[in-house]
Amino acid sequence: MARYFWRTGFMLACLLILTSCVGKREIDDLAMVMGVGLDLVEAENGEQHVKVTAQIARPADARGQTGAPSGQTGEPIWTISATDKSIFGAIRKLGSASSRRIFWAHSYVIVINEDLAKNGIKDIIDFFIRNPELRMRTWVAVTPDNASELVSSLTGLEVIPGQSIDGLFRYSKITRSAPRTQMIDLHAAYLSDSTELYLARLKLESNEISNKQPEQGEKQKNITLAGTGVFKGDKLIGTLSAKETRSLLLFVEDVKSGVGIVKCQDDESKFSTFELVHETLKVTPDYKNGKPEFTLTVRTTAKLVETDCTIGFDDDDKIAELETDIENELKSDVTNMLDKVQNEFGVDILEAGNVFNNEHPSEWKELRNNWNSHFEKAAIHLNMDVKLKSGALLFKPTTSGKKVDQ
């Protein structure tokens, strides 16, 4: 009898657990945020406030329909903004204009205007890290444009602009135009005692041609990756161009491929283009005369993809000269980036401090409190090793076989 009551009680307890829906949220009650824009604005009383813009998917119109269903607009997103002294205050104001509960867990990207970033982003990091709905894998970027305009622009192949930005980052390993920065990386760099913050940079550029009016040329704006924002502490202090970013990514990310362009040896008005694959960087730290220094060794394979030059891959001397030309070109790019980071910005965004700490932990204890100053003065030696491979079976430029009448 006791066993019967015990089984009955256990089954009733299981039923209570299975039927409970504590904290449930119906999807029809939620406004899904796809992207967030943050701008610095001046209030009527002269105070500086933050403007929060939320890009929200329209459930009925996000299927890419060309005609608007009844009661809808035909646009895939609905964008609203609010301004307040704090991010949370602005977000609460957003809720007063939405017929659904604003839900942040599906946000693809957070875009920060550069004017706001120059004032500091520690409050932004603090708020979004504390937000239990936000994913740590959300992309974070800065922009010289109004963040509200960028996150509300319908661009690219995707119906949802936030999804389009997500795609830009996911497939950016080939273009190498900006770092792949997520909230988890931003938070880790902010807490680090050696590495400074850096963020991807986004811009609105007129590089899209209208299918209906192609004669107008590149008129429609599109979101593009446009280099790197460099921080000291939590404040934006400068930017690296897309070209300079390609060298930066050797230090901070796994690089898939790149592009190298060199002048022809027999005619400097013509060029050869190479795809750089299997690029690797080895950083060797050292400590001499009370100062840190680093030796960088970059190795890559260059594959010929386009040329106007007369190149014979059966000529070893020519190949050696061409490898030297590519090495010099790449060395110049890396040196220019290092010069800007060390001498103009004076901050370590290369994660050199982490490498030094791993090899020289005792010396690091003496340098860590003023690492940027030591990094700024550190000697950096650069070695470049390029191996050239032929472009398929083409040993010479592609030329016409037709004879031209004189």
Give the model confidence (pLDDT) of 346-362 as tens digits: 999 999 999 999 999 99
Predicted local distance difference test score (pLDDT) of residue 68:
45
| Residue 145 contacts residue 182 (beta carbons within 8 Å) | no
- Rounded distance, CA 345 to CA 239, Å? 9
| Residue 101 contacts residue 30 (beta carbons within 8 Å) | yes
* Token duo for residue 86: 């704090």
- Rounded distance, CA 175 to CA 167, Å? 12
- Range with the poorest average pLDDT among 267-281, 342-356, 361-375: 267-281
Residues 18-27 have pLDDT tens digits of 544 545 555 6
Domains (ranges, CATH) in the chain?
A: 29-61+73-240 (no CATH), 252-396 (3.30.300.210)
Q: Phi, psi at residue 403, to the nearest 5°?
A: -90, 140
Confidence at 168, pLDDT banded by 50, 70, 90: confident
Predicted local distance difference test score (pLDDT) of residue 134:
79
Predicted local distance difference test score (pLDDT) of residue 217:
57
> For residue 224, which of 248, 204, 253, 252 has the smallest C-alpha distance?
204
> For residue 90, which of 136, 37, 130, 135 has the smallest C-alpha distance?
37
